[in-house]
Amino acid sequence: MTDPWVLAMAPATPDRSDMSYIGGRGAGRPERPLGLPLVRPPWGRITAIDMNTGEHVWMKANGPAPDAYRSLPAAKGLDLSEAGNPAIAMLLVTKTLLFTGEGAGLVNGASNGGGPTFRVFDKKTGKILHEMKMPGLTSGSPMTYFWRGKQYIVLATTNRTEGAELVALALPNGN
């Protein structure tokens, strides 16, 4: 995710550390003119890296920009469908597939992060093979299990009005 913050060092007190300085409070996020981030999108992305060479094989935005950005007057007329959510994607990687929820702003605490969308990517190409809306924001990494001859993907979701739930999806036979 690309979501700049201003950080600072602060003098340490003996009860907190034996070092001279520790991470202190900074100014937080830099000012966002017109409400949009200072950096170009994608603000959230998934990057496939060849672990043998370090080469970036493909990169995809982690969904569209959040509603909080798309609804701004400054965003009127902008195509933010590939801008990505400024939240860490929750991932499950298998031999051929990548399962992901958009992320729920769990790391940066952003109310504008995340979305209720679950996607399945082809791991080699980054092509989206399936996409579906979930009952809430993704709040944990997808899990998988095999039971009675069927493979399942389970995803934790949360909805501010209805609470959290686990959603289990059965993969089609032969997958």
SS3 state at 63: coil
Question: In the predicted model, is pLDDT for residue 25 greater than 90?
Answer: no
Integer angstrom CA distances of residue 156 from 8, 67, 88, 112, 143: 35, 21, 15, 19, 9
Domain, as residue range, for 95:
6-170
**What's the pLDDT tens digit per position in 108-137?**
445 545 568 899 999 999 999 999 998 888
pTM given for the model: 0.78
Map residue 131 onto helix, strand or coil: strand
Flag whether 175 is in a domain: no
**Does any domain span residue 31?**
yes
Domain membership flag for residue 18: yes
Nearest to 157 by CA among 147, 168, 146: 168
Give the count of domains, the chain: 1
Does residue 42 lie in a domain region? yes
Residue 42 to residue 166: CA distance in whole angstroms: 29
Structure tokens at 56: 């970036």
- Helical segments of the chain, H only: 67-70
pLDDT at 105: 54
Angstrom distance (rounded) from CA 110 to CA 119: 21
More confident residue, 57 or 4: 57
Taking residue 18's Cβ as centre, other Cβ atoms within 10 Å add up to 6
Averaged over 69-85, what is the pLDDT? 91
Span of 70-74, 109-113, 133-137, 160-164 with lowest mean pLDDT: 109-113
Does the pLDDT value for residue 31 go beyond 60?
yes
